[in-house]
Amino acid sequence: MSATISREVVRKRFLMCPPRHFDVTYSINPWMRPEKPVDAALAFSQWEGLRDLYVELGHTVEIIEPLPGLPDMVFAANGATVVDGRVFGARFRHVERTAEGPAYLSWFAERGYREVRWPEHINEGEGDYLVVGRRILAGTGFRTDPRSHDEAQEFFGLPVIGLTLVNPEFYHLDTALSVLSDDEVMYYPEAFTPGSRAVLEEMFPDAIRATAADAAVFGLNALSDGRHVLLPDAAVNLKARLRERGFEPIGVDLTELLKAGGSVKCCTLELRD
Ligand code: ARG
């Protein structure tokens, strides 16, 4: 199968936040154990590895300066959702992260983005909003308020399809599903309600289904440029499935950041402008 499909790279622009103040000092998801030490230097060099890889692959990486006291700010995916140059801001569920919303929004406002919305309802940016071609998949269940889905649909003028998460280990949509191209995804069915699973089967009958082992190493927290798929290195089954479909999986080590419940996708906000 792989030999017959030619996968073209789509050049992308990303926003990333260096983990200069990264730590696990509170727990807002089951991965976070403040009693377990974090190796800050290792976290930083792992993050640099991801940034360098994007640049080597021909993508552009913009940087937002991290703020002290916001140890999760490294997870740039949560900072906003950007489609057609329109910036839909994030409004965090937990007080520990609320200051990140305005910090990210200012970054956009200062750089001349004109359609910038401070949201009415709680939503955690691309953690729960994933763009597939001209449709947006929208997670809820743990973080994003389902009322935000209507707000996002009105703001972007694109169909927003709600999906409900049920397993607290997969608390954001981007921990349970990743977008591979304009019409392909991979996901972990057990992370969703039966109704949402049926919706995914209807929309993406040929999708790659992740195993429990893939999901447990955060294998779905991946970033695809249409050809390369960057994902946690330990997701061995997913890497094999991706190769069968003609993708080039690239394993990345972000084990220190996983101590906060984040990996490749969480560190990456896509600037679709
Ligand atoms: N500690 C962060 C939180 O629980 C991790 C966020 C991960 N980001 C993501 N896009 N899934 O909010």
Tell me the torsion sign for CA atoms 153, 129, 80, 95.
Answer: positive
242 alpha carbon to ligand 1 midpoint, in Å? Answer: 25
The pLDDT of 191-216, averaged and rounded, is 98
- Residue 123 in any domain: the answer is yes
5 alpha carbon to ligand 1 midpoint, in Å? Answer: 34
- Residue 7 in any domain: the answer is no
Q: Which residues line ligand 1 (CB under 6 A)?
A: 28-29, 32, 72, 75, 77-78, 97, 127, 172, 174-175, 260-262, 266
- Residue 26 in any domain: the answer is yes
CATH of the domain at 256: 3.75.10.10
Name the average pLDDT for the chain.
Answer: 97
- Residue 5 in any domain: the answer is no
- Residue 1 in any domain: the answer is no
- Residue 59 in any domain: the answer is yes
Using the atom order of ligand 1, give the atom closest to the CA of residue 172.
Answer: 11
Q: What's the number of domains the chain is made of?
A: 1
**What are the pLDDT digits (tens) for 84-126?**
999 999 999 999 999 999 999 999 999 999 999 999 999 999 9
Residue of 26, 33, 78, 98 to test ligand 1 pocket, by largest number of atoms within 8 Å of CB: 78
- Residue 4 in any domain: the answer is no
The pLDDT of 4-9, averaged and rounded, is 84
The pLDDT of 20-32, averaged and rounded, is 97
- Which pLDDT does position 194 carry in this prediction? 98
- Within 8 A by CB and 6+ apart from 217, the residues are 232, 234, 235
**ipTM at complex level:** 0.97
Q: Is the pLDDT of residue 252 over 70?
A: yes
Using the atom order of ligand 1, give the atom closest to the CA of residue 78.
Answer: 10
**What are the pLDDT digits (tens) for 120-148?**
999 999 999 999 999 999 999 999 999 99
Active-site residues: which are they?
172, 266
